[in-house]
A and B are shown apart, each in its own frame.
Chain A
Amino acid sequence: AQSVTQLDSQVPVFEEAPVELRCNYSSSVSVYLFWYVQYPNQGLQLLLKYLSGSTLVKGINGFEAEFNKSQTSFHLRKPSVHISDTAEYFCAVSETGAGSYQLTFGKGTKLSVIP
């Protein structure tokens, strides 16, 4: 069974500074990887996903993530954050070939952007 570890539960960062949110996964088979964002009192919105191909994936709102198979990581980055990026970010994994494409989520990282 797959699992996801988000190493930081909270990340404070100043506005316009870069940020990296870390995600590591565990699986015995190949995986698909996702980052979702959750604004207060809202559902989850897909930021980006890695299915195959280029390991550098670009998403919405200027976010990108890099899949590193050897380190089983999928860290999320943004070169310059904005106040509006304050939210909770979830990394998720699904196993390829499993048929059901169920998502397993990490516990989330709360990003707080400080003006």
Chain B
Amino acid sequence: EAGVAQSPRYKIIEKRQSVAFWCNPISGHATLYWYQQILGQGPKLLIQFQNNGVVDDSQLPKDRFSAERLKGVDSTLKIQPAKLEDSAVYLCASSLGPLGTGVETQYFGPGTRLLVL
């Protein structure tokens, strides 16, 4: 079974530029998560999708971050414009779902390492 795919693996940009990350979850997984992992910290949830709807984006800095999952499969996370403090690893995870059927194990992709100069 293929795991969660993410691209690119690494990205270096200058502040005020824009960047986009792509995630393809495990086939059949209804729930998709984006996390931000700053160096030395644990992952922090940015946004959670159930199929193509947003479940929680309370920790997403909406003035610069956006995410979509149009067809309920793959997803993109965009930052525009980027700031120095956005340097982090962006992790995508997926779980079987749907909500309410019990705890679902989250499976993580390899992450995209972003450096903002």
Which residues of A does B touch, CB under 8 Å? 4, 32, 36, 41-46, 49, 51, 90, 92, 94, 96, 99-108
Docked Cα-Cα span, A90 to B43, in Å, equals: 9
Determine how close the nearest CB of chain B comes to the CB of A60; give it in whole angstroms. Answer: 12
List residues of chain A with CB within 8 A of the CB of B111. 42-43
Chain A CB within 10 A, most for which of B6, B55, B56, B108: B108
Docked Cα-Cα span, A9 to B44, in Å, equals: 17
Size band of the interface chain B makes with A: 20 to 34
User: Do A106 and B55 form a contact, CB below 8 Å, given A43-B91, A101-B103?
Assistant: no
Which residues of B does A touch, CB under 8 Å? 4, 6, 33, 40-45, 48, 55-56, 91, 93, 95, 99-100, 102-111, 113
Among residues of B, the one whose C-beta sits closest to the C-beta of A102 is B45
Docked Cα-Cα span, A99 to B97, in Å, equals: 11
Are B42 and A102 in touch, CB under 8 angstroms? no
Determine how close the nearest CB of chain A comes to the CB of B31; give it in whole angstroms. Answer: 8
User: Do A43 and B42 form a contact, CB below 8 Å, given A102-B48, A102-B56?
Assistant: no
